[in-house]
């Protein structure tokens, strides 16, 4: 369970988050939807402790797991943030090395994760610049999952990928989240992606929560004209839908 209570954050004059209260239920995938600058990434960074809120408080409750924040939360960002001087395998094992795992345990976990994300094992010896964007993101996900944290935070994980890779990875991630039953918070600006992942969607605009609910709630009972506007802006033009329908 992640809970934000009345969280406010300013960067200089700009209000990034304005009195945000948000609860994320354990074991579900929660999507933070919004255009850039809406504050959705800042929420993740506050949960991670990378950014300190000006007001309000954040609590993370996970049953059983102790240790550093790396044991609690996994984090994947756009373009992966893999370390260019380390091979894929070394990137993935980094948090386990820091946590002092035995080599055999690291290797076993590495293999399990490679199977989970369907990454060919010969790719693990490569350096990030020798991998495609989709492969890099799968390695990045493996690294986030290395210590098996109960919470997974993803910030536009597929944002830099081409549409085909993006679509196939969306399906793969949705399957993985379903299998793992982790508490997932995924940040995206893409309505369709929100639909693929989100059982609960929180739509943000200018640092405020506009509406929270399922996609059906948002589409059929918009709390604000902005909700419809946002959803419609990303819907394919009617003509195209007709063509595809034939």
Q: Is 229 helix (H, G, I), strand (E, B) or coil?
A: helix
Minimum CB separation of residue 107 from another protein in Å reads 17
Task: Report the interface residues with another protein, using CB under 8 A.
Answer: 48-50, 68-71, 73, 75, 77, 79, 81, 83-87, 94-95, 97-99, 127-129, 143, 147
For another protein, the closer CB: 28 or 126: 126
Minimum CB separation of residue 160 from another protein in Å reads 12
> How many Å apart are CA 223 and CA 135, to the nearest integer?
39
For another protein, the closer CB: 77 or 231: 77
For another protein, the closer CB: 138 or 205: 138
Phi-psi region for residue 20, left (φ > 0), alpha (ψ -120 to 50) or beta? Answer: beta
Angle of CA points 29, 32, 34, to nearest 5°:
150
> How many Å apart are CA 210 and CA 222, to the nearest integer?
9
Minimum CB separation of residue 234 from another protein in Å reads 26
Joined tokens for residue 161: 């990928």
Minimum CB separation of residue 94 from another protein in Å reads 6
For another protein, the closer CB: 124 or 196: 124
Joined tokens for residue 18: 């304005």
């Amino acid at each position: 369970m992640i809970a934000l209570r009345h969280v406010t954050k300013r960067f200089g004059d700009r209000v990034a988050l304005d009195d945000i209260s948000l609860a994320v239920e354990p074991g579900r995938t929660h999507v933070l939807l919004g255009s850039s600058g809406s504050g959705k990434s800042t929420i993740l960074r506050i949960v991670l402790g990378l950014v300190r809120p000006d007001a309000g408080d954040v609590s993370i409750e996970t049953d059983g797991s102790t240790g550093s924040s790396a044991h609690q939360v996994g984090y994947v960002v756009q373009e992966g943030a893999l370390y260019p001087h380390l091979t894929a395998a070394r990137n993935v094992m980094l948090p386990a090395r820091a946590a002092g795992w035995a080599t055999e345990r690291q290797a076993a976990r590495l293999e399990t994760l490679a199977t989970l994300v369907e990454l060919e094992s010969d790719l693990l010896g490569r350096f990030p610049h020798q991998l495609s964007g989709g492969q890099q993101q799968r390695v990045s996900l493996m690294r986030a999952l290395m210590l098996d944290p109960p919470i997974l935070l993803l910030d536009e994980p597929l944002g830099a990928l081409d549409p085909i890779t993006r679509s196939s990875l969306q399906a793969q991630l949705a399957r993985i989240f379903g299998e793992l039953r982790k508490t997932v918070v995924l940040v995206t600006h893409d309505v369709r992606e929100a639909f693929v992942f989100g059982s609960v969607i929180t739509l943000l605009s200018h640092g405020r929560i506009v509406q929270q609910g399922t996609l059906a709630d948002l589409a059929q009972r918009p709390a604000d004209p902005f909700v419809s506007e946002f959803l419609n802006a990303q819907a394919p033009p009617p003509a195209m839908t007709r063509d595809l329908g034939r």
